[in-house]
A and B are shown apart, each in its own frame.
Chain A
Amino acid sequence: MRRLIAAAAVAAAGLGAARWAAARGRMPVSARDPLAAGRWLGVTINRPPEEVAPGERLPEPLTRVDAEVRMNRAPGGRGTELYARPRGRTARAEGALTRLRGEDSRTAVRTALREAKSLLETGDVLRSDEEIATTRPTLPGKVLDLALGRASEGGRL
């Protein structure tokens, strides 16, 4: 635990120093993505467009979210690029806290896209053995739980 606190303190001090230096114009900062809130989330599905949306019917997971959807044939015979983004998006991307609380509207769209891909490619969405737990609660486990809590909703799309 002491090691964890020390590491957190070092990380916080480092971040603080970086912000201070950046604020004083001594260090270039990485740009915030001004388009973050409106970017399309994309997933490439190893199926042709006519199977992804037969008769223009969207894959079922995408019907459960309020999202704009578009698609095109992927280059190189890679199937279909399927894109979605929340409708009525906010001007700024939702913050880390919102994501941790599971209230980020982009999270639901990301999950729907990933499930659509899995259903179309494999006919199923794989479940984790975590559903029948063998683990017991520990303090380091709590920290891990914070990271793992939203891990199923992440992933590049």
Chain B
Amino acid sequence: MKAVCWQGVNELSVERVPDPAILNAQDAIVKVTASTTCGSDLHLLGGHIPAMRAGDVIGHEFLGEIVETGPEVTRHRPGDRVVVCSIIGCGRCWSCRHGDWSLCENSNPNPGITDLMWGGSTAGIFGYSHAMGGFRGSHAEYVRVPFADHNAFTVPEGVSDMDAVFASDAVPTGWMGADLGGVRPGDVVAVWGCGGVGQMAARAAMLLGAERVVAIDRYPERLAMTTRHVGCEVVDYTTTDVVSELRERTGGRGPDVCIEAVGMEADSTGLQRVYDGVKQRLRLEQDRPAAVREAIHACRKGGSVFVLGVFAGFVDKFPLGALMNKGLTLRGAQQHGQRYIPKLLELIGRGDLKPSHLATHTMTLDEGPRGYDLFRNKKDGCVRAVFRPWI
């Protein structure tokens, strides 16, 4: 079959690879009908997650049709149209049972790497390096889905493919940031990043009752898209001092909840930009945390900061003093998607969420490298490129 493969830093190609197979009795094989780029893929492409091998299939946010099931799959059958959570959970360990699916204790066959890096192993993720289990990604014609009863969700009639595909990752990740960030009715919420996840976090905050939501980015087309499709306020950080602006919009308090949806390659301005850039290039700092720093400074005393963007290692100049003395709550997680996807599909079905606008570019699998070029370099207003292998 055809697949988009990582070949080295910033190098992708479309290759013929062996078809996936049922390896465990609870597996299913899914024929991929839509698979989208995600900002976190850029960390793989850029070599910031050093556990990739040449030839690895990438992609983790996808929709498809079940074509084969293992003998112990009971909730699905061939022909089901399913959205699959990008995080793989077993559904039965203590973490999964308590809704913390990205902490699954049985879905990463290579636990030694993340355990060494972080002092604990985390769940497997499709197409996200050998540290996350070495599972093949979804930018392919077919993909194997482990523990299919727990990770694949039947898409209701009436929900379009282009809406459903984002229920795999962007929508539940954004929702989790607002939910676990503790958004309550009447809150003021600030979201750093107007990519797919940031926009969905802003929309989730609104649906959870936030009175004001402010989204922050620097790309005019993303700010305009957020205004138009999410309906919240926006701030361009290249023309506005974000912390001062947020203070002014909140009676001097700062936002109650700050959601960071940028990740380890955060851009910034001024001296901080140069400092982080140099340190990261010299490998003296693994991740650039500019947005996290700003969120902590901007947050109101006693408020909450949630880190949704992907980080892998160590950061420099982390404002621990501000965190401690302002009495902030800091949380983060890879998405616990299975906890939210059924409810989110309902919201999409009712029209309360409509993420399909994120799919600015739809293309074939053969155009994978070009899709990532558009996506990575924000060319042609690209927010997400969606690959459709069978169209």
Interface residues of chain A, those whose CB is within 8 Å of chain B, are 7, 44, 46, 78-79, 114, 117-118, 121-138, 140-141, 144, 147-148, 150-156
Contacts and interface: CB of A to CB of B under 8 A. Distances in A.
B9 to A, nearest CB: 9
B92 to A, nearest CB: 5
Contacts of B91: 122
B351 interface: no
A155 B121 contact: yes
A38 B92 CA distance: 31
Contact of A155 (B93, B115, B124, B144): B115
Most buried by A among B105, B113, B147: B105
Contacts of A127: 23-24, 109
Given A114-B111, A154-B121, 15 more contacts: A7-B283, A46-B92, A122-B90, A126-B124, A126-B146, A127-B24, A129-B20, A130-B109, A134-B55, A135-B54, A148-B51, A151-B112, A152-B109, A154-B113, A155-B112
B57 A134 contact: yes
A125 B152 CA distance: 19
A131 B112 CA distance: 18
Contacts of A138: 8, 53-54
A124 to B, nearest CB: 5
Contacts, number: 128
B309 interface: no
A135 B53 CA distance: 6
B19 to A, nearest CB: 8
A117 B105 contact: yes
B56 A135 contact: yes
Interface string B135-153: 1100000001011000000
B350 to A, nearest CB: 34
B26 interface: yes
B5 interface: yes
B134 A141 contact: no
A148 B113 contact: yes
Contact of A122 (B15, B92, B94, B109): B92
Most buried by A among B20, B112, B131: B112
A79 B333 CA distance: 24
A134 B130 contact: no
A126 B22 CA distance: 11
A122 B26 contact: yes
Contacts of A7: 283
Given A121-B92, A124-B25, A126-B90, A136 B112 contact: no
Contacts of B56: 134-135
Nearest to A148: B130
B72 A123 contact: yes
B134 A128 contact: yes
B119 interface: yes
| Most chain A C-beta atoms within 10 Å of own C-beta, residue among B5, B97, B106 | B106
